[in-house]
Amino acid sequence: MPPKVDVPILKDLTIDNITENVHRINSQSEDARLKYVLERLVSHMHDFARETRLSTNEWLAGIQFLTDVGKKCTDVRQEFILLSDTLGLSLLVDSIDHPKPASSTEGTVLGPYHTHDAKSESLGSSISADPDGEELLCICTVSSTTGSPIANAKIDVWETDSHGNYDVQYSHYSGEKPDGRAVLRSDAQGVFWYKAIVPVPYSIPDDGPVGKMLRKLGRHPWRPSHMHFMFEKEGFDHLITALYLRGDPYETSDAVFGVKESLIIDLNTVTPEQAKKYDVKEGTKLLTYDFVLVTDEETRKLRDQKAAEAMKALGRENMKILEGLPVPDVD
Amino acid sequence: MPPKVDVPILKDLTIDNITENVHRINSQSEDARLKYVLERLVSHMHDFARETRLSTNEWLAGIQFLTDVGKKCTDVRQEFILLSDTLGLSLLVDSIDHPKPASSTEGTVLGPYHTHDAKSESLGSSISADPDGEELLCICTVSSTTGSPIANAKIDVWETDSHGNYDVQYSHYSGEKPDGRAVLRSDAQGVFWYKAIVPVPYSIPDDGPVGKMLRKLGRHPWRPSHMHFMFEKEGFDHLITALYLRGDPYETSDAVFGVKESLIIDLNTVTPEQAKKYDVKEGTKLLTYDFVLVTDEETRKLRDQKAAEAMKALGRENMKILEGLPVPDVD
């Protein structure tokens, strides 16, 4: 037999002392942040079981559910992200990690359909090859919170086709010919424009365990019509967001909690002058939006401030904030 | 477009109001228990994110970890149960679901190695075919909390071989020839006896994501030497338990939090009379234990009582207890 090991001693385990015992064993970690995250995770998981009096059968159903979710994941289907989205966790984490001052564009859920297949396109290109889609001209700007245009920002845009499917959802998709997505660059005036199709509502994939969960909860799996945007520019916080069409049947009941009031837009129709200037048919729908990015420095300050506020509200003392994240302050 | 749907309206979503909005959408479920469990789950998950200021990168690491855990699961390897075991959740759920009066045998973690392959064996059989194991004679009894012997109880026993491996852990295992496990029946006096080998400590499978987690936490993956028992008898609560050898190097730091003081035993040595009576060599190690089962009725009463106490402690009013489980009492 190996020699007696020198680790924290577990006491006689009961419903009431198991949590502190798990904390004691986990306190051996040398990663202060991991230790704190695990401490909160274990405390909440145990409190959840105690508060619901979780039965063995329910626990087993949970184990089976998580296993099914894992088995459903592939390179083009992330069922755990879908689960996180449908329980509001994704929106929450994005809001925490990317705090926004009032003057800037709010973020929202990334969703599972962003890919790295999108081609770089020049301004004015069409991102959609779908002949059944209703043509949409998009003219947007991107600037800083002080109103300066941001040139040469990298902008990922992506949307479904007119059937409500992303390119990766088709079994014949190979990554060679992405559709409904492109990578653009803003011009010197911070303007980027492109042609697309009017977004339509679509159902999140509900043929897996998450769909089953939604049905048990009496929930529909629909997302309101939207277009995704992701902005990257050195010195500015990564912005993942989307614009939603006002009046959509699912505007107030998005299955993944992505809609924010400031991200709901009305489409217009191009003027005859715009039709000529941008080479689109008269009567074409028009999307315009002015995106506002937050600098890394502004974001860092806000993160630190919000983290300190959260620790205060939690009544946690002896915490320090490292890179925007709270960790125990042990000397 | 489909017509505007008639579901609870989500308000403009923020870090602070997302939780109540998720509850509102989930409140459409007609299953009161599911609704309550989800409400507590979502509240704890969101509080966890808010209290840790969970970053997008950490969230993504969590998504990847859960996906890896799911991918590791097979018919003979349940990595999610291992995860639950190593975070103390399994022990907690078992303790909640199977409350025990002071006079009865405590339960402990089932672990992932129970199978339905074990053959029914007559009393006195050897459950181990391992020639390298140290022979062990086991003479146990099973009775009720009032001291009456329980005849014809179904008893599953299982243990590793002398190398610390369960039969199912060998790649050549087919289910045809189970080893280290058997199903026994107690006799009219509530006695069951069999031959086995002295249990040895073993490492839980640590070649997967859970092993990686333990290493990051500075934890060892060892379980102290033990033998598993599962009792089934009509009218009595299912008892899943195990006996642990005193003095084991991992006695106070079980990787899955299974050890309870009342389940730690000292092995003895058979007397010359016992050696003759039970047909074992002199000097053979002897395990004895008197198991005490709780009736279904006692268990039901205790479950209701403990659930009511938990709801009181939580300050939840308007709850009723249905089959031992709390649900909101809405009229």
- Please report the ipTM that was assigned to this predicted complex: 0.91
Strands A285-293 and A135-144: parallel
Same domain assignment for residues A156 and A284: yes
Residue A285: count other Cβ atoms within 10 Å of its Cβ. Answer: 18
Q: Where are the beta strands (DSSP E) in A145-225?
A: 154-158, 181-185, 191-197, 202-203, 222-223
Q: Is A143 a member of any domain?
A: yes
Same domain assignment for residues B141 and B249: yes
Looking at the DSSP assignment, which residues form a beta bridge with residue B62?
Answer: none
**How many angstroms away from the CA of A93 is the closest CA of chain B?**
6
Q: Is B275 a member of any domain?
A: yes
pLDDT above 70: residue B131: yes
The contacts of residue B179 (CB under 8 Å, 6+ apart) are B127, B128, B129, B130, B161, B167
Task: Check CB contact under 8 Å for B48 and A41.
Answer: yes
Same domain assignment for residues A109 and A31: no
Q: Cα–Cα distance between B117 and B224 in angstroms, integer?
A: 24
Same domain assignment for residues B110 and B231: yes
Residue B146's CATH number: 2.60.130.10
Task: Check CB contact under 8 Å for B25 and A50.
Answer: no
The conformation of residue B260, written as its DSSP 8-state character, comes to: -
Q: Judge whether A119 and A320 are in contact, CB under 8 Å.
A: no
**How many angstroms away from the CA of A251 is the closest CA of chain B?**
9
Q: Is A93 a member of any domain?
A: no
Measured between CA atoms, the residue of chain A closest to residue B315 is A51
Q: Is B205 a member of any domain?
A: yes
Same domain assignment for residues A36 and A157: no
User: Could you tell me the residue range of the domain that residue B192 belongs to?
Assistant: 79-294
Measured between CA atoms, the residue of chain B closest to residue A303 is B53
Residue B216: count other Cβ atoms within 10 Å of its Cβ. Answer: 15
Tens-level pLDDT at each residue, chain A (331 residues): 444 556 777 767 889 899 999 999 999 999 999 999 999 999 999 999 999 999 999 999 999 999 999 999 998 789 999 999 999 999 999 999 999 999 999 999 988 888 899 999 999 999 999 999 999 999 999 999 999 999 999 999 999 999 999 998 898 888 888 999 999 999 999 999 999 999 999 999 999 999 999 999 999 999 999 999 999 999 999 999 999 999 999 999 999 999 999 999 999 999 999 999 999 999 999 999 999 999 999 999 999 999 999 899 888 888 999 888 999 887 5
pLDDT above 70: residue B3: no
Of B73, B96, B259, nearest to A53 by CB-CB distance is B96
Q: Is A185 a member of any domain?
A: yes
Q: What is the pLDDT of residue A112?
A: 80
Provide the 3-class DSSP secondary structure of residue A264: strand
- Dihedral sign (CA A176, A181, A186, A187): positive
Task: Check CB contact under 8 Å for B55 and A93.
Answer: yes
Task: Check CB contact under 8 Å for A28 and B218.
Answer: yes
Measured between CA atoms, the residue of chain B closest to residue A23 is B87
pLDDT tens digits, B42-87: 999 999 999 999 999 999 999 999 999 999 999 878 999 999 999 9
Of A12, A15, A261, nearest to B261 by CB-CB distance is A12
Q: Report the candidate in B312, B281, B112, B323 with the shortest Cα–Cα distance to residue B204.
A: B112
Q: Is B248 a member of any domain?
A: yes
- Which DSSP helix (H) or strand (E) runs through B21? helix B18-26
Same domain assignment for residues A166 and A254: yes
Task: Check CB contact under 8 Å for B12 and A260.
Answer: yes
Same domain assignment for residues A39 and A127: no
> Residue holding tokens 């006692």?
B298
- Which DSSP helix (H) or strand (E) runs through A38? helix A32-52
Same domain assignment for residues A16 and A154: no
Q: Cα–Cα distance between B187 and B195 in angstroms, integer?
A: 16
Residues of A in contact with B22 (CB under 8 A): 87-88, 257
Same domain assignment for residues B222 and B290: yes
Same domain assignment for residues A49 and A126: no
Mutate to test the interface with B, among A18, A27, A53 (most CBs of B within 10 A): A53
Domain boundary (A264, A279, A294) is at: A294
Q: Is B323 a member of any domain?
A: no
Task: Check CB contact under 8 Å for B56 and A98.
Answer: yes
Domain boundary (B54, B69, B91) is at: B54
Same domain assignment for residues B235 and B285: yes
Q: Judge whether A258 and A91 are in contact, CB under 8 Å.
A: yes
Q: Is A321 a member of any domain?
A: no
Task: Check CB contact under 8 Å for B88 and A38.
Answer: no
Of A12, A59, A93, nearest to B49 by CB-CB distance is A93
Same domain assignment for residues B120 and B254: yes
- Average pLDDT, stretch B237-250? 95
Looking at the DSSP assignment, which residues form a beta bridge with residue B173?
Answer: none
Q: The tokens of A74 are what? A: 């592939």
Half-sphere exposure of B223 (CA within 13 A, CB side): 28
Q: Could you give the number of structural domains in chain B?
A: 2
Start-to-end Cα distance in chain A: 37
